Structure 1
């Protein structure tokens, strides 16, 4: 894959710009699309590529490019690291605020990556997926967890579900493999 000049410029901007323009974000999205696109397919927007790959190859969610919301947060986090590298020779670097660049703080003040700024799926799809777990939905036996979705009111799981929206926001990295 040969990167075009405008893509290279977008990566340069990550390292040097305080605030990324919509044009830079669009070019980075185009780069991600080119990395995930099958040979001969030229789709430059994430939603269209995700739809194409899902329909054409029935790709699982972990084999699809990130959603627009996930890519947006990843770009913000990459900007922090790119900025450090871009200022490597400067004794007093201008640091970016992690809270404005893809991170949030837990109760114990530890930084955690914000995985997306959009809902995990359209409401209609969330309503179609419902698990039938008899316990707390901690393993991939839970159909919701397997699809990276929180359990909803339609699910048949117990009230102490570990995969509901509230639990996920408190502990987004819980990837436990206990039986459900």
Structure 2
């Protein structure tokens, strides 16, 4: 077989101070070994590419380094590629994501997210930036589905992949493929339905968004704070209370 060479795209218009890098593909294939070469498509897709989402803060190098140094992680990646059902892939993919985010093999992705959040609350002087947390399993599963679909398309011997994108993390919206983000709501109903008014008056009319929705004002309201308006919850002070 002829020698294959990969050259950096910086070689198209090289700067005089730029050292052009080249890789001998055949030698690299021998160095990595057959098993790791088999895993490269899923490693590349999970790390994020033009057609898959990216795991914030993980990058492309970490999955490859873990696959090279951790046989258990490499086995998990292999299981993702060999899965025949979405449920199997959800389970295997969760283990991959937990490992990438530094979790324990006994943790679920959601419990790892909670633990990371608590750690940051204790240590951070400012608010926690949620993009630094692991994804929920609900969102993470769709990243794994899209990575699997892309890897299988790359590995397909046929020009067209036999899999359907809409079965693996994508949805058809008016003829365009868009990523499916998650199935669950982003927050519990009681939080999503939380309404806060910004009334300057006493919240006595339906211009108050809380009153209009049939809700009492709360301390989340920016002006009345739920205790200085006609729509606040009255505090029943009994004779026994005043004696305390």
TM over 0.5: yes
- Gap change, CA 1:82 and 1:92, over 3 Å in 2: same
2: CA distance, partners of 1:33 / 1:67? 10
Superposition deviation, residue 119 in structure 1: 1.4
1:1-180 equivalent positions in 2, closer than 5 A: 2-3=66-67, 4-22=70-88, 24-37=89-102, 44-58=107-121, 59-87=128-156, 90-107=157-174, 109-127=175-193
TM-score by length of 1: 0.57
TM-score by length of 2: 0.44
Could you say what secondary structure the match of 1:65 adopts? coil
Root-mean-square deviation over aligned CA pairs: 3.2
Could you say which residue in structure 2 is the equivalent of 1:163? none
Could you say which residue in structure 1 is the equivalent of 2:201? none
2: CA distance, partners of 1:31 / 1:111? 26
The answer to which structure, 1 or 2, has the higher relative contact order (CA under 8 A, 6+ apart) is 1
Aligned residues: 131
Gaps of 5+ in 1: 134-152, 157-180
